[in-house]
Structure 1
Amino acid sequence: MSCFRVLGLIFTLCFFCNKIKAQNIVVDPTKTPVELVKNVLINSSCIDTETVNATGNPTATGQSYAAFSSAGSTFPFANGVVLTTSPSKNAEGPFNQATSVGVKIESWAGDVDLNKAINTTSSTQATVLEFDFTALTNSLSFNYIFASNEYQSYYPCLYSDGFAFLIKESGSTEEYKNLAVLPNSTTAVSATTVHPKIESVIVSGSVKDGCDASNENYFNGYNTATSPINYAGQTVVMNAHTAVVPGKKYHLKLVIADDDTRKYNSAVFIEGGSFVTNINFGENKTVANNSALCFGENYLLDTKLDPAIYTFKWFKKDSSNNYVQIAGATGSSYSVTATGTYKVEANLSSTTCINIGEITIEYMPEIASSDTTFLQCDDNSDGITIFDLTKATNIVKNNVSQISLQGFYESLANAQSKTNPIANPQHYTNKTPNQIVFARIENSINCYKTAQITLQISNHVIPNQAPIATCDEDVLQDGLYQFDLNLQVTPQIMSGLPSGLVIEYYLTASDAVQTVNKLPNIFKNNIPYLQTIYARAVNGSDCYDIVPIELVVNTFDPANFEDEKVFLCKGDQETLEVASGFKSYLWSNGSTSNSILVTAGGDYSVTVTNGDDCQKTKKFNVISSEPAVITGAQVKDFSGIDNSILVEYTGNGDYEFSLNNSDFQNSALFSSVVPGVYRAVARDKNGCGLSNSFLIYVLDYPRFFTPNGDNYNDLWAIKNIDQMPDYTISIFDRYGKLIKQMNQNSAGWNGFFNGQQVPAGDYWFTLLFIDGKSTRGHFSLKR
C-alpha cells in the first residue's frame, strides 16, 4: 500500500471519528408544510387536519421552517419540526458563539397575532406553521423545546424573542389562547421568563445590570461547542396541552419571531409524533398528588364521546401490572369504586382510530370514628350546664393523630355541609337535656366523617365533706397558709368512691363546671381563716360530681413565746417555763411539763400544742457565766499621756473592768493612765459577781523641777518607785558627766553636785532595775 493511500486512510478515519464524537441534528428544509404537519408532527389516524399553511424567510437564503432529526446526537427529540427566526439550516450544531449574533433580514416581517399574545408591538422575522384540525377526543398535547442565542451575557434580563402556540375554534372571532406557557400559569415561555441568575457585566466601559433567576427549574442549561444545536441555551422539554371539544374544528397557529433588534436568533423544536389528542381524565387521583378519593366515594370516568359513533373497552391493571378488560364495561363512562389504574379505548366506528385515556385512582382508608356520651356536672340541677366539647376530640377520632377535628355542630346537616359550627365549643351550653351534637373529622385530603356526642348530666353524688383544717405556721398569724390538696384533701374525698377518678380543684363552682382556672396542688387560701373551694371528680373526659370543700386555717400565737436568753452563774440553777393550760408540752430534753430546771448552759426549747393541735415553739438560750480571775496586767509607763494598763484575766463570762472599783468599762485596756497606784477588778455583766482585786503601779518621771528652796518641786524623784524592785538611777549633764546616782533609799536629787548648785538646763538619766528592765529620758532643771 502506498504511503499516500495510508495517509488518506488515516485522515478518513480521523474525520469519521471526529464526526461520531461531535454529532449534531440534521435539518431538512425541503419538506412542505403539509408534510411537516401530517407526516412529522401528527402522523396519526385519530386527527383530521386540513388547510395547512406556512410562512417564513422571504429571501432565498433558506427556509425558516423545516423537519429535523437527532441523527444519533444527544438532542432529546429523535425528530420533529423546527421553526426559526433565521434560515433553518442555521439550527444545526454545534454552537458557534462567534456567529451567534444571527441573521438580520430587514424585509422579514413579524406577526400580529404573536404580538397580541405576548403583549408586544415589535416582533420581526416571524415563522408560522398553521392548520385546522378536528378534535376526536377531549384534549390535545405536544412536546417542545425553546432555544435561543439570547442566553448570553445580560440579555435575558432585557431581551427575548417571542413564540406562541395559538389555538381557537376555527372560523371564530374569539381571541387566541396561547399554549406555550409555564405550567399552571399564563406566563409565556421566553428567555426573560426562564433563565438562571444573571450577573452584572461591563460592556464598553458601562455596567449592565444582572437579574435574579426566573423559573430556573425549566432552564436546561447553556450550550457549548459540542452541543447538537447552534444555540447558546435551551429550556427543558416542555409540554403544551389544552382541553378541546370532541368533533369541533380548531385552528392551531405555531409562530416564532425575533424581537426588534433582529439579533441573536431563536428556534422552537416540536417533537415529531407528539401532537396527540387523547381522552383526558385529569390528573391522577393519588395520595402523592394530594387528590386521592374518599372511602366509599364513586368517581365517574367520562370520555365525553358520543357512544353512537364510538365503541368502548374499559381496563384495570391487575397485581402483575397488566391491563385486564373489565367485563360488561362498554359505555362512554365508567364509575370507579376501588383503587387501581384504569384505561379506556374508544374506537371511532369504521376507522382504525383508537383514542386512549388512562388514570390512576387511589382511595383513602375509611376514617374510624366513635360516637360517645359526654357526662358533665350540673351546678343547679336544671339539666342545663356548660360542656367543653373539645374534650371529646380524641375519642371521636380514636386518637388518630393524622385525623383532624373540623368543628362541632348542632345538626347533622351542618356537620355534613361544614356550615355554622359551634362558635365556642370549649364553653358550650346545651339547649336541652340529653342533647346530641355532631363532630366533623377529616383526613389530610378533607375526606370527612361525623360522630355523635350525647350531652348528659352526671347523676353521681359525692357525700358532703368535713372541713379540712390546718395550722398557720407562718411567723405572721394572719389565717393564710398553704394546703397540699392532693395530700390533705383528695384522700378524704376518694374514701368510698370508685378507683380511677381524678380530683381537680377550683375556686368557684362555675370554674369547676367550665374547668377553667384550675388550682395548683399547693394552694394558699386568699380568704383568711375559712375559705370554700370546689373539688371536681373526673372520670376520663366525664364529670363525676362537684363538691364544696371548706378549708380552715387555725392560728396560734401565745404570749411571751419570743426567743429568750437566760444567764446561769457557775454553781447556780435556773427555771425555764412557759404558761400553763395548753393541751401538751414537749421540751427538748423530753420533759412534758410547763417548766424545767437547768444547771448547765446550752440551747433548750419547748413545743406546746393547743386544742386545735396547732403548735408553737419557744427557744431558750442558757448562757453560763462566772466571776473573772485577774491574773496580771501589762503596764506601759514612763510614756506620759501614752501610759496604759491591759488587765489580764481568765473566766467564762461577759465582763467589765475598773481601776478604782467605781468606774467600769467594757474593755480590759485602760489608756492615758496617769502615774499612780491602782487596784484592778472585773465585774460579770450577768450578775455573777466581782473578781479578785489586783494591785498595779504606773510610774513616770517628772519632766522638770525647780530647786529654789520654796519647798515646792525642789527635788527630782520618781513617785512610788520605792514600791518597785531594787533599781539604780544615774543622772548626767549634757556632756555625759555623771552628776548624781540614786537607789530606793534616795529621797531625790536637789540640783547640787559636790555641794555646788548645777546650772539650769537639760539633764539625762538612766533607770536600771535589778530584773534588767531599764528606761532612759531627760528633764529640765529650772532656776
Structure 2
Amino acid sequence: MKIIKHLISALFFVLGIQFGNSQNISVDEGYSPQTLVEDILINSSCANVFNVSVSGGNFATGEKSFGYFDATGTTFPFQNGIILSTGKINNAPGPNSYLSDDGGSMGWDGDSDLNTALGLSNTFNATILEFDFIPLGNKISFDYIFSSEQYLTSPSSNQCNFTDGFAFLLKRNGATTYENLAVVPGTSTPVKVNTVRGPGTICPPANANYFDAFNDANHPTNYNGQTKVLTAQADVIPGETYHIKLVIADEGNYRFDSAIFLGGGSFNFTIDIGDDRLISSGNPLCQNETLLVDATQVGATAYQWFQDSIAIPGATNATYTITSVGDYVVEINYGPSCQTTGTIKIEYADVLTIDENTFSLCDSDTNQDGKTAFNLDNIKNSLFTNLPTNYVISFFETQTSTTILPVNYTNTTAYNQTIYARVMNIQGCYTDYPVFLKVNTFDAIVTDKELSLCENDILILDAGSGFNSYTWDTNPPQFTQQILIASAGTYKVILTNVNNCSKTKTFTVEASSTALIEDIICNDFQENNTATIQISSASLGDYEFSLDGSNYQDSNIFTNLAPGEYTVYVQDKKGCDIAFETFYILDYPKYFTPNGDGYNDTWFIKNLDKSNLENSPINIFDRYGKFIKQIFGESEGWNGTFNGNQSPSNDYWFEIKLTNGQSIKGHFSLKR
C-alpha cells in the first residue's frame, strides 16, 4: 500500500501543474491557541472562553501537530477549521501518496485522561487542545471528522484491531470525572478505526453508516480513510463554567498517524426548547392540540420566533404557542452582537382514513356454528390507508377492556361481532375504532360419492343444485353443475354458496367392465359335482354369479350339481353388462334295466360330446374284471349282452380313457 503511495507521490509531483494545489487542503501552524478556539472553532461574539492551551509533539524542526486547516475549493466536507494530529500537520495535505508516520523515538507521551476514557494504558504522541468556557445556552455541539492512516484497504488480519484513539472530554467546574462526547451516535461507544469502519476489506465493518470512504491517491488529505461528519454534543447549564479537553493519540506505538478535523465555526451554544414532535418518533401533536414552548434564558434581551425560516409577526416573547406544522426557530439575543438559537420541529398526527373495517370469513369447521378464527394481523394491515409505520394497533373486545386480543382470535358472538382497534402512540391521539367481524356459513350437507364407469361408457357427474358456482378440478377447469367423464379417477368440485363460502365434493370413479369368462372347470363324475367359473384378469369389476339369472352369489364355485346342461350368469355389481356361458355336468347312470320296455334298456353316458369326450373309449368289465364291452360316446351304449347272451343282473365296472392319458372309473348295476 505505502510503496504504491510513494510512486503516486512522484506521479503527482510531475503532474502538479495540471492538478494544482487547490485540490488539497492546506495547513497553517501560525495561529495561537486562543485564536484557534475563539476565532476558528467558535467564531462567535458570544464566546466566553479562557484558559486555552495546546500541547503536542516537540519536533526538532519546530513543526507542530496542531493548527489551522483550509479546504476551500476542495471536496473536503469542511471549508476550514482546526486539525489535531498524532504527527506533523504538514503531512496532512493530500494527495494520499505516502505514509504519515511521525513521532517515533522523541519522548512524545500519551495522555492519562484519554487512557481512562478509552480504557487504555499504552497511548503515545498525544495532541491536546483544552479550554474553559461559560455557555449561554443549555446545549453545546460541534462537528468533526476522524481521519487515519490505519484505514487500510488491504490490511493483514492482525491489523484489524490496531486503532488510534481520541476523546472529547467535558466536565463541569468542580466535577471529578469527564464525559466523552466523541461516541458513535446513540451509543456510548468511542469513535475509533475499529468501531467506525466500512465494508470491503478483510476487517469486519462496524457502524458503517458513519464511515465515509477508503481514500485513493486523489484525495484532499494524506490519510487512507475517514468518518463522515459527526457531531459531538452535550447538555450544559447556562452560566456555569465547563472545561473541555480535545485529545488524540497513537495507541501501542507511534506508527500510522491519525487526525481530528474540527469544523470551523461549528462550536455552537444552543437552547434546547424541547423534543421534536414527529410522526416518525410516535410523538406528534394531536389534531387541534397546541404546544407552549418556553425559551426563557437568563440575561436575554430579546426574542424572535420563526416558522419555516420566516419571522412570525409579533412573536417576540420568551414563550410561543405552536398551533401548526413547521420548523420553529427562536433567536435569543444577549446584546447587539451575541445571539443563540433554539429549534423544534412540529408535526401533527394524521386523521386516519379507514380503508376497510368489515371483515368476513367463512366458518372453517364442520359444525358451522358461526365462529371461526380471524388473523388480526391481516386485519391490522388492511384497516387504515395512512397509518404511520411505527404506530401500534391492538384489538380489544370492548372499548373499556385492557386485555389485548391474540393474533388468532375466534369470535365469541356467533355470526356477527364488533371488536375495537386501539391505535397507540406516545400521545394517544386516537380513539378506538370499531371493527366488524362477520362469519358466513355453508349449511348444505355435502357427501362424497363412489361411482363406477363401465368400459366404453360415458358417466355424468352431478354436483347437485342450489349453489352459486361450481369449479371442477378438470383440465381445463369446468364450471357447470354436471360434467361428462370417460375415464376413471378422482374428481373434485368446489361448491360455493351465496355467502361465498365453499365446500369440496369428491367423486371417486372406479373403472369396471363386463366379465370375460375365461374358463369353466367342471369337476364331475363325483358324488359332489362342482363347477368353477374363471374370469379373465383383464376384467375390471366386482362380480357375482348365478345359474338361473336371478339368484346370485359372490362365490364363483357351484357345488352339488346334478348332471346336465347349465348356463352361468356373471354380473358386474356396479351395473355393467351381464356375461353368460353354457356348460355341462357329466355323470354316468347308476343302473339300467335291459328288459325291452323301451325305457332305460341300454347303459351309456350322455353329453360326452359336450366335453369333447365322444371319441373316448368306454370299457365295461364284470365284477371279476372280465372285459365285456367297449362303447363310445356317440354309440347306442351297452344292451346288457355278452356274445349274444344276456348278462346276469349284477354290478359292472367301466373305465373311460381320456385323451390326456387319465381315466375315469366307476360301477353301475344291471337289473332284470
> Which of 159, 169, 174 does residue 172 from structure 2 map onto?
169
Q: What TM-score does the superposition give when structure 1 sets the normalisation length? A: 0.51
Residue 620 of structure 1 is matched in structure 2 by 578
Residue 89 of structure 1 is matched in structure 2 by 90
Contact 2:543 2:571 in 1 (8 A): no
Structure ID, larger Rg: 1
Residue 146 of structure 1 is matched in structure 2 by 146
> Which of 170, 178, 181 does residue 179 from structure 1 map onto?
181
Contact 1:130 1:254 in 2 (8 A): yes
Report whether the alignment pairs 1:451 with 2:438: no
Local SS of the residue matching 1:67: strand
Matched ranges for 1:506-545 at <5 A: 520-522=503-505
Q: What TM-score does the superposition give when structure 2 sets the normalisation length? A: 0.58
Local SS of the residue matching 2:206: coil
Matched ranges for 1:160-559 at <5 A: 160-173=163-176, 175-196=177-198, 211-280=203-272, 289=280, 291=282, 293=284, 295-296=286-287, 298=289, 300=291, 302=293, 304-306=295-297, 309=300, 311-317=302-308, 323-327=309-313, 329-339=315-325, 341-368=326-353, 390=374, 399-400=383-384, 406-409=393-396, 412-414=399-401, 419-422=402-405, 426-427=409-410, 438-441=420-423, 448-452=430-434, 487=464, 502=499, 520-522=503-505
Contact 2:123 2:252 in 1 (8 A): yes
Could you say if the C-alpha distance between residues 140 and 298 of structure 1 is closer, same or farther in structure 2, counting changes exceeding 3 Å? farther
Please, what is the CA RMSD of the aligned residues? 5.3
* 1:168 shift after superposition: 1.9
Distance 1:92 1:396 in 2: 57
Contact 1:564 1:620 in 2 (8 A): no
Contact 1:314 1:342 in 2 (8 A): no
Structure 1, residues 264-305: CA drift from partner, whole Å, max 9, x if none? 222111111111123456786556x45572652746474543
Structure 1, residues 663-703: CA drift from partner, whole Å, max 9, x if none? 8xxxxxxxxxxxxx99898xxxxxxxxxxxxxxxx9xxxxx
Distance 1:163 1:226 in 2: 26
Could you say if the C-alpha distance between residues 523 and 237 of structure 1 is closer, same or farther in structure 2, counting changes exceeding 3 Å? same
Local SS of the residue matching 1:229: coil
Structure 1, residues 720-777: CA drift from partner, whole Å, max 9, x if none? xxxxxxxxxxxxxxxxxxxxxxxxxxxxxxxxxxxxxxxxxxxxxxxxxxxxxxxxxx
Could you say if the C-alpha distance between residues 522 and 280 of structure 1 is closer, same or farther in structure 2, counting changes exceeding 3 Å? same
Distance 1:306 1:251 in 2: 22
Distance 2:378 2:208 in 1: 45
Contact 2:135 2:239 in 1 (8 A): yes
Contact 2:27 2:93 in 1 (8 A): yes
* 1:487 shift after superposition: 4.2
Local SS of the residue matching 2:37: helix
Distance 2:200 2:407 in 1: 54
Local SS of the residue matching 1:278: strand
Name whichever of 277-286 and 240-249 sits farther off.
277-286
Local SS of the residue matching 2:115: helix
Contact 2:38 2:47 in 1 (8 A): no
Identity across the alignment (%): 31
* 1:447 shift after superposition: 6.3
Report whether the alignment pairs 1:47 with 2:57: no
Q: Which has the higher contact order (CA 8 A, sep 6+)?
A: 2
Contact 2:91 2:222 in 1 (8 A): yes
Contact 1:126 1:258 in 2 (8 A): yes
Contact 2:286 2:427 in 1 (8 A): no
Could you say if the C-alpha distance between residues 187 and 114 of structure 1 is closer, same or farther in structure 2, counting changes exceeding 3 Å? same
Distance 1:401 1:422 in 2: 22
Distance 1:486 1:330 in 2: 82
* 1:258 shift after superposition: 2.0
Local SS of the residue matching 2:122: coil
Could you say if the C-alpha distance between residues 606 and 170 of structure 1 is closer, same or farther in structure 2, counting changes exceeding 3 Å? closer
* 1:662 shift after superposition: 5.8
What residue identity is the alignment partner of 1:75? F
Distance 1:281 1:657 in 2: 122
Gaps of 5+ in 2: 1-13, 364-368, 453-460, 469-496, 508-541, 553-566, 585-608, 619-629, 635-658, 660-672
Distance 1:147 1:112 in 2: 22
Distance 1:427 1:223 in 2: 60
Residue 541 of structure 1 is matched in structure 2 by none
Residue 17 of structure 2 is matched in structure 1 by 17
* 1:252 shift after superposition: 1.5
* 1:366 shift after superposition: 1.4
* 1:565 shift after superposition: 6.5
Name whichever of 68-77 and 116-125 sits farther off.
68-77
Contact 1:397 1:441 in 2 (8 A): no
Distance 1:16 1:422 in 2: 72
Residue 510 of structure 1 is matched in structure 2 by none
Contact 1:345 1:356 in 2 (8 A): yes
Contact 1:372 1:452 in 2 (8 A): no
Structure 1, residues 302-339: CA drift from partner, whole Å, max 9, x if none? 4543387353333333xxxxx43335544444444443
Residue 38 of structure 1 is matched in structure 2 by 38
Matched ranges for 1:61-76 at <5 A: 61-70=62-71, 72-76=73-77
Could you say if the C-alpha distance between residues 83 and 454 of structure 1 is closer, same or farther in structure 2, counting changes exceeding 3 Å? closer
Distance 2:581 2:50 in 1: 126
* 1:37 shift after superposition: 0.5
Could you say if the C-alpha distance between residues 450 and 624 of structure 1 is closer, same or farther in structure 2, counting changes exceeding 3 Å? same
What residue identity is the alignment partner of 1:347? I
Give the number of equivalent residue pairs. Answer: 487
Distance 1:164 1:279 in 2: 24
Contact 1:28 1:66 in 2 (8 A): yes
Local SS of the residue matching 2:270: coil
Structure 1, residues 555-591: CA drift from partner, whole Å, max 9, x if none? xxxxxx975567xxxxxxxx96689xxxxxxxxxxxx
Could you say if the C-alpha distance between residues 387 and 440 of structure 1 is closer, same or farther in structure 2, counting changes exceeding 3 Å? farther
Gaps of 5+ in 1: 1-13, 200-209, 318-322, 378-384, 459-464, 476-483, 492-499, 505-518, 525-560, 567-574, 580-600, 608-615, 627-653, 664-676, 682-697, 699-783
Distance 2:318 2:359 in 1: 48
Could you say if the C-alpha distance between residues 28 and 520 of structure 1 is closer, same or farther in structure 2, counting changes exceeding 3 Å? same
Structure 1, residues 182-241: CA drift from partner, whole Å, max 9, x if none? 222222222232334586xxxxxxxxxx53233344343344554333333333322222
Local SS of the residue matching 1:40: helix
